[in-house]
Amino acid sequence: MRSSHQAGRLAQPPSPITDDGDEEHFCRSCSFSSACNAVGQGKPELNALQCLVEHVGPYRSGQYVFRSGDPFRAIFAVRSGTVKTSVVDRDGREQVLGFYLPGEVIGLNAIYPDQFPCDAIALETAQFCRFLFPAMSALASRVPVVQQHLFRLLSKELGAVTLLAGDHSADERMAAFLTDLSERYAARGFSGISFHLSMPRGDIANYLRLAAETVSRVLSRFRSQGLIEIEGRELTISDPQGLRKLGQNLLPD
């Protein structure tokens, strides 16, 4: 099966891939790994879960993984690359909703009303595991651990929207954003100290509800305060505790 969307500069949509050479690392870092581990290696239920997975990609930078209004048929675990989700209002203005890293799952917010409520766009070359949801839902009804894990992922997705809730300063928002990225990278076995900001500053500003100029000023201020080092999109967190303290009102304890 092939994706139904493609970037304008690509004649063909991404096709399934059989092996990208990173199976072992990805499966350890994937959001579904705890469900697989709980089911147990070699058990029939695990084989059933693996049979639902289709590798798709690559999607190039700017290419749509799915579009708002598309029928909901599958959820996607990011194997490599970074993805943003966004909506466009009636006046053509984009609102960035979130960014997804390797091992994270996109599409869970489409379960109801059975269509995707937003666009998902690759920010760099990205590959995915695609889980056909009708089959996964049927499996979840038979295997409690899979059902419980889906519920946990849904709960986490709903909780993520609270990151920007309330009246907080630009410094607090940026500190929370960088700390959140750092901890998500670290949780999946990547460096949480030094990483590449695959999202442009305009997208970061849009997501944080700030002006692009404000984002640049805050990053410069963080650098002068010794919280970070940044060169282009390469970022190193010099003072993780200080950064987290600054953004603590927007972060979970």
Q: Which residue ranges make up each domain of the chain?
A: 23-163, 166-250
**Residue 81: which H helix or E strand, with range?**
none
Of residues 48 and 242, more confidence is placed in 242
What is the mean pLDDT of the segment spanning 139-145? 78
Look at residue 188 and tell me whether its pLDDT is greater than 80.
yes
∠ CA 147-152-157, rounded to 5°: 125
For 85, other C-beta atoms within 10 Å of its C-beta total 23
**pLDDT score, position 47:** 60
**pLDDT score, position 36:** 54
Give the separation between CA 66 and CA 128, rounded to whole angstroms.
Answer: 12
Q: What is the pLDDT of residues 13-32, one digit of tens each?
A: 443 333 444 444 446 556 55
Q: What is the CATH number of domain 23-163?
A: 2.60.120.10
Q: What is the pLDDT of residues 79-135, one digit of tens each?
A: 899 999 999 999 999 999 999 998 888 998 888 888 999 999 999 999 998 988 888
Of residues 31 and 205, more confidence is placed in 205
Which residues have CB under 8 Å from 35's CB, separation 6+? 49, 145, 146, 149
Dihedral (Cα; 72, 66, 198, 23), 10-degree rounding: 60
Q: Among the CATH numbers 1.20.1250.20, 1.10.10.10, 4.10.520.10, 3.30.565.10, which is that of 166-250?
A: 1.10.10.10
As given in the structure block, the two tokens for residue 224 are 């002068």
Which residues have CB under 8 Å from 26's CB, separation 6+? 79, 80, 102, 103, 129
**pLDDT score, position 28:** 59
**pLDDT score, position 5:** 40
The percent of residues above 70 in pLDDT, for the chain, comes to 76
Mean pLDDT, the chain, integer: 82
Could you tell me if residue 92 is left (phi over 0), alpha (psi between -120 and 50 degrees) or otherwise beta? Answer: left
Give the separation between CA 62 and CA 122, rounded to whole angstroms.
Answer: 5
**pLDDT score, position 40:** 47
